[in-house]
């Protein structure tokens, strides 16, 4: 009974959510678009000509925002967006999509093959693992996803590039922040207005890789 009540409350909240309505008006596939927009504006990230990798892209709202930022006056994409997700994603003009699990070596290898050695200016990750409700197990899964995004960024980012990942306050969060600080010259936490107050999610932004970051990641183990 309680579960049914919770579901009704969630649906009601979703229907009345101003960001849901705004997303529908502007044609975004999810309200999460506004989280990225605020982060990009605040941190002055992404400009035309950038190479962007979107991890955990489905349903595609972050890739939509990236595309908007990279389209030139003539309507042509000035830059590159490679998106990846375990789930299928409806096509977005100019966005290259890979369907697969980022945790699997062959999927990561396909992403690397697509990049062809090209350095990335910005890695954005709205990835969140399926949660079990067991806090210790869920914390480990969340850390693992953050670690994978960090490792990928350290290997592929331009030295002046940036990484934006979704993390969650709780057990293990401080280790994730510490790992970011070991690899980036500037690390900030952002809680966009579109992120619901009740949510434990927060976004970590790392900018400008420290010298040797690509090698350093191999000795890092998030616990």
Confidence band, pLDDT 50/70/90 cuts, at residue 95 = very high
Distance CA(108)–CA(58), nearest Å, equals 17
8 is catalytic: no
Here the tokens at position 129 are 């693992």
Confirm or deny that 101 is annotated as ligand binding. Answer: yes
pLDDT higher than 80, residue 179: yes
Domain extent, residue 24, equals 2-219
pTM of the full structure: 0.88
What percentage of the chain carries pLDDT values higher than 70?
Answer: 87
Confirm or deny that 60 is annotated as ligand binding. Answer: yes
pLDDT higher than 70, residue 52: yes
Here the tokens at position 157 are 């980012």
CATH number at residue 196: 3.40.50.150
Between the two ends of the chain, the Cα-to-Cα distance in Å is: 37
Here the tokens at position 137 are 């197990």
Query: Which residues face 82 on adjacent strands?
Result: 53, 96
The residue among 61, 35, 45, 19 whose CA lies nearest residue 190 is: 35
* Backbone region of residue 102 per phi and psi (left: phi > 0; alpha: psi in -120 to 50; beta: other values): alpha
Confirm or deny that 62 is annotated as ligand binding. Answer: yes
pLDDT higher than 70, residue 222: no
pLDDT higher than 90, residue 1: no
pLDDT tens by residue, 98-146: 999 888 899 989 999 999 989 999 999 998 877 666 666 777 888 888 9
Report how many domains make up the chain: 1
Here the tokens at position 68 are 């908007």
Confirm or deny that 158 is annotated as ligand binding. Answer: no
Catalytic residue, candidates 166, 181, 191, 198: 166
Strand ranges inside 71-217, DSSP E: 80-85, 95-99, 120-125, 157-168, 184-190, 201-209
Confirm or deny that 41 is annotated as ligand binding. Answer: no
User: What does pLDDT average to over the chain?
Assistant: 88
């Amino acid at each position: 009974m309680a579960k049914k009540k919770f579901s009704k409350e969630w649906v009601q909240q979703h229907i009345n959510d101003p960001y849901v309505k705004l997303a529908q008006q502007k044609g975004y596939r999810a309200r999460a678009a506004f989280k990225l927009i605020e982060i990009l504006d605040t941190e002055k990230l992404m400009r035309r000509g950038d190479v962007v990798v979107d991890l955990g892209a489905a349903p595609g709202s972050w890739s939509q925002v990236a595309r908007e930022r990279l389209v030139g006056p003539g309507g042509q994409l000035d830059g590159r967006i490679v998106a990846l997700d375990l789930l299928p994603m409806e096509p977005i003009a100019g966005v290259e999509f890979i369907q697969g699990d980022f945790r699997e070596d062959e999927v990561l290898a396909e992403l690397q093959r697509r990049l062809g050695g090209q350095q990335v200016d910005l890695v954005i990750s709205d990835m969140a693992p399926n949660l079990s409700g067991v806090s210790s197990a869920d914390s480990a899964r969340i850390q693992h996803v953050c670690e994978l995004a960090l490792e990928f960024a350290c290997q592929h980012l331009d030295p002046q590039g940036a990484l934006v990942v979704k993390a969650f306050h709780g057990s293990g969060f401080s280790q994730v922040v510490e790992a970011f600080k070991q690899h980036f010259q500037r690390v900030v936490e952002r809680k966009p207005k579109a992120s619901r107050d009740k949510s434990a999610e927060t976004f970590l932004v790392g900018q400008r890789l420290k010298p040797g970051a690509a090698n350093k990641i191999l000795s890092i183990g998030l616990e």
